[in-house]
């Protein structure tokens, strides 16, 4: 999950830290100011490579020759203020672009086939005592007996609930693992792009947690680049270069450099892949992303595709 800090307390210490962090960036007019929020380490690596590649390939287009990356935590209001001002933040990443388009006037979104349509592909962390039960789920009837855990502000909750699935909400990302370990819910779906690292971080505290190799979800989840209104030239620069990279295969190559092991799912795993829709997206966007995701699957994969109707 894109771990944006929507639930962070609006403390004086956080505000002071942000001001100090951004003040150093304001003195570098030749640097593109990129906020990475609380992206997981693998998504940070990918996003940095993406931005650096675009800047290098289009370095004559605008004054920015390099980027300064910030991972400082911000609450929602602070993030919104910085995005609207566009002084200490020029560019950011989000999986909730349609909401941002409405809530952040002037912010422009760029959508390309970033991450090979894999951001919405979910694998599950489970307790060892329930692994066999969850690995055997193969239809909607069985799926509706599964209790899913998510953080209360994650947009992921909507696709599950829209299809009549049971969701238990946690207050924080960290508390989800404790709740799963104590049996408060049955599985914790996370993006295949970050789940291995997430489990590795928590396995010391919760050694009985493991991965299901047979229970998967997919719902359309675009990865957006948001560009603030202070940088209209940057929007054109990135749109043109990213379109070129999509055509010449550079975007796919960047994905493979960071996430190649993820594709082993389709050759080494069997089980059920439940296809959901995302109510936060338009019907057209849902249809487009689902179609392209299914077309991107390698021939001969062993997953059984199950389309789940809305309740």
Domain membership of residue 2 (yes or no) is no
Q: 35 Cβ partners below 8 Å, 6+ apart?
A: 69, 70, 71, 72, 74, 79, 82, 89, 91, 92
The closest alpha carbon to 51, from 199, 306, 286, 251, belongs to: 251
Do the domain assignments include residue 6? no
Q: Per residue in 74-106, pLDDT tens?
A: 877 888 888 888 888 999 988 765 555 556 777
Q: How far is CA 286 from the centre of its chain?
A: 16
Same domain, 241 and 206: no
* Residues 183 and 95 occupy one common structural domain: no
pLDDT of residue 30: 77
Q: What is the CATH number of the domain that holds 289?
A: 3.40.190.10
Average pLDDT over residues 99-127: 84
Whether residue 200 lies inside any domain: the answer is yes
Q: What integer pLDDT is reported at residue 269 of this predicted model?
A: 82
Question: How far, in Å, CA of 234 to CA of 250, rounded?
Answer: 20
- What is the reported pLDDT for 132? 95
Q: With contact defined as beta carbons under 8 Å apart, do 310 and 163 qualify?
A: yes
Q: Which of 281, 263, 278, 273 is nearest to 305 (CA)?
A: 273
197, 284: one domain: yes
Strands 31-35 and 91-94: parallel
- As separate numbers, helices (DSSP H) first and strands (DSSP E) second, the chain gives 13, 12
Say yes or no: 70 and 205 in one domain.
Answer: no
CA 57/CA 240 separation, integer angstroms: 11
The side-by-side arrangement of strands in the sheet containing 31-35 is 66-70, 31-35, 91-94, 224-227, 108-111
Same domain flag for 56 and 104: yes
- 101 domain residue, yes or no: yes
Number of domains in the chain: 2
Answer yes or no: is 230 within a domain: yes
7-16, 25-34, 199-208: least confidently modelled range: 7-16
pLDDT, tens digit, 9 for 90 and up, residues 248-297:
999 999 999 999 988 888 888 889 999 999 998 889 989 999 999 999 99
Count CA within 13 A, CB hemisphere, residue 52. Answer: 9
Picking from 103, 113, 136, 129, the residue whose alpha carbon sits closest to that of residue 250 is: 113
Say whether both 207 and 284 belong to one domain: yes
Please indicate, yes or no, whether residues 99 and 176 belong to a single structural domain of this protein: no
pLDDT at 153: 85
Measuring CA to CA, which residue among 77, 54, 31, 70 is closest to residue 235? 54
Report the candidate in 165, 132, 146, 176 with the shortest Cα–Cα distance to residue 1: 176
User: Is residue 1 a part of any domain in this protein?
Assistant: no
182 lies in which domain range? 117-221+263-307
Spatial distance between the Cα atoms of 268 and 140, rounded to a whole number of angstroms: 24
Residue 128 sits in the same domain as residue 215: yes
Both 174 and 290 in one domain: the answer is yes
* 253 shares its domain with 281: no
Do residue 84 and residue 153 come from a single domain?
Answer: no
Q: Are 44 and 148 contained in the same domain?
A: no
């Amino acid at each position: 999950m894109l771990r944006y800090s929507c639930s962070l307390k609006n403390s004086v210490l956080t505000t002071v830290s942000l001001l100090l962090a951004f003040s150093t960036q304001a003195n570098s007019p030749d640097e593109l100011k990129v906020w990475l929020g609380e992206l997981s380490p693998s998504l940070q690596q990918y996003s940095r490579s993406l931005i650096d590649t675009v800047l290098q390939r289009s370095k004559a287009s605008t004054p920015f020759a390099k980027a300064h990356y910030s991972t400082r935590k911000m609450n929602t209001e602070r993030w919104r203020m910085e995005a609207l001002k566009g002084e200490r933040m020029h560019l950011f990443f989000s999986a909730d672009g349609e909401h941002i388009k409405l809530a952040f006037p002037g912010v422009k979104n760029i959508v390309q086939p970033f991450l090979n349509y894999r951001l919405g592909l979910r694998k599950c962390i489970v307790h060892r005592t329930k692994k066999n039960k969850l690995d055997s789920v193969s239809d909607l009837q069985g799926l509706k007996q599964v209790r899913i855990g998510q953080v209360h502000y994650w947009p992921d909750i909507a696709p599950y609930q829209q299809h009549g699935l049971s969701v238990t909400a946690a207050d924080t990302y960290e508390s989800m693992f404790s709740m799963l370990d104590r049996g408060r819910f049955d599985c914790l779906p996370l993006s295949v792009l970050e789940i291995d690292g997430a489990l590795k971080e928590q396995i010391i505290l919760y050694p009985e947690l493991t991965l299901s190799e047979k229970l998967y979800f997919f719902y359309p989840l675009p990865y957006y680049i948001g560009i603030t209104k202070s940088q209209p030239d940057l929007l054109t620069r990135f749109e043109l270069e990213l379109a070129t990279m999509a055509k010449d295969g550079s975007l796919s190559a960047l994905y493979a450099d960071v996430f190649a092991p993820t594709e082993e799912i389709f050759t080494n795993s069997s089980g059920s892949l439940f296809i959901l829709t995302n109510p936060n997206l338009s019907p057209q966007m849902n249809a487009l992303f689902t179609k392209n995701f299914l077309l991107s699957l390698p021939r001969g994969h062993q997953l059984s595709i199950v389309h789940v109707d809305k309740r």
